[in-house]
Amino acid sequence: MKVFDPIQFPVIGVMHSPFREKFGIPRQPNLVDVESYIEFHSPYNDLSAFEGIEEFSHLWLLWNFHENKQASSSKFRPQVRPPRLGGNEKKGIFATRSMYRPAPIGMSVVKRVRVEKCKNTVRLYVTGSDLLHGTPILDIKPYIVYSDAVTEALSGYAMDEPNKKTVIWESIAKHQQEILLRENQLTPKIIHSIEQVLSLDPRPAYQNDEQRIYGMKFDIFDVRFTVICDYIHIVEIIT
Ligand code: SAH
């Protein structure tokens, strides 16, 4: 086999998540406790394939960066600018978690919630995923503490969790929030998720324009916000 022969894998299922666009998705898993589920395709929608999974609190998801703008067949770029470094310092691709890599495969540790069977479908509910809605899932593996959790590990430029900002609802947004809550469109859980996601400041690393209003889609909602110093101001939430 030539090293550059492509390999094909089956897609076992698809992610259903409130992250309807890339903007706003945490840059790593486990930073927010947003719930999502994987729906499995036939023949992987077989409950016996999940037997024993309830013994594991966390799982590895292996998945495909299917929404990459730049095709993985395009020219190999050995260096990228991690957002964590402000977007102006380069690192070797293999020293980053960039989505633009030779094989567009993502890996994420998530918390298992439950497996559900309903008619012909099997759903695996998880929290903490950083996957876009519609992401093809390649595999699920249990997270094994004695081997996967390396307590003395060094993580270079990504040693600590990113700083979180304080989220403030401006008066108009607060009013819209109350109406949506009354109409049962919004729930306290979704509000909490939106606040968690925004506290991570999803803006591209190199942007710091206090005049600019950003829009993020989350579930059925459009959330607009500005960032001033260490505060995220939500100015609008609409469906
Ligand atoms: N934990 C993973 C992902 C790191 S990059 C890993 O280490 O492999 C995480 C980013 O991938 C998210 O912030 C989001 O912008 C992007 N992303 C999520 N799902 C995607 C998809 N299906 N296609 C392309 N990009 C995606």
Interval between CA 195 and ligand 1 midpoint (Å)? 20
Interval between CA 70 and ligand 1 midpoint (Å)? 13
The CATH number assigned to the domain holding 200 equals 3.30.2310.20
Interval between CA 194 and ligand 1 midpoint (Å)? 18
Measured from the CA of 27, which atom of ligand 1 is nearest? Answer: 13
**In a domain? residue 29:** yes
The reply to whether 60 and 91 lie within a common domain is yes
Q: Which residues contact 25 (CB under 8 A, 6 or more apart)?
A: 19, 130, 131, 132, 197, 202
The reply to whether 137 and 187 lie within a common domain is no
**In a domain? residue 8:** no
Best CA proximity match to 109, nearest among 70, 56, 163, 181: 56
Domain final residue, candidates 94, 115, 148: 148
Cβ 19 under 6 angstroms from ligand 1: no
Number of structural domains, the chain?
Answer: 2
**In a domain? residue 122:** yes
**In a domain? residue 55:** yes
Q: What is the pLDDT of residue 58?
A: 98
For tokens 């009013």, name the residue. Answer: 175
- pTM score, whole prediction: 0.94
The reply to whether 218 and 110 lie within a common domain is no
Cβ 202 under 6 angstroms from ligand 1: no
Best CA proximity match to 123, nearest among 107, 112, 110, 138: 112
Q: What is the pLDDT of residue 2?
A: 57
Cβ 224 under 6 angstroms from ligand 1: no
- Domain enclosing residue 186, as ranges: 166-238
The reply to whether 45 and 144 lie within a common domain is yes
**In a domain? residue 59:** yes
Q: What is the pLDDT of residue 128?
A: 97
The CATH number assigned to the domain holding 64 equals 2.40.30.70
For tokens 């609802």, name the residue. Answer: 169
Cβ 80 under 6 angstroms from ligand 1: no
Q: Which residues contact 22 (CB under 8 A, 6 or more apart)?
A: 67, 132
**In a domain? residue 4:** no
Which residue puts its alpha carbon closest to atom 9 of ligand 1?
27
Interval between CA 135 and ligand 1 midpoint (Å)? 9
Measured from the CA of 136, which atom of ligand 1 is nearest? Answer: 22
The reply to whether 129 and 234 lie within a common domain is no
**In a domain? residue 7:** no
Cβ 204 under 6 angstroms from ligand 1: no
Domain final residue, candidates 114, 148, 182: 148
The reply to whether 79 and 118 lie within a common domain is yes
The reply to whether 32 and 101 lie within a common domain is yes
Cβ 24 under 6 angstroms from ligand 1: no
The reply to whether 134 and 182 lie within a common domain is no
**Mutation probe of ligand 1 site: the residue of 99, 105, 126 with most atoms within 8 A of C-beta:** 99
Domain final residue, candidates 79, 114, 148: 148
Tell me the pLDDT of the chain (239 aa) as tens digits: 556 788 899 999 999 999 999 999 999 999 999 999 999 999 999 999 999 999 999 999 999 999 998 776 778 999 999 988 888 899 999 999 999 999 999 999 999 999 999 899 999 999 999 999 999 999 999 999 999 999 999 999 999 888 899 999 999 999 999 999 999 999 999 999 999 999 999 998 767 788 899 999 999 999 999 999 999 999 999 99
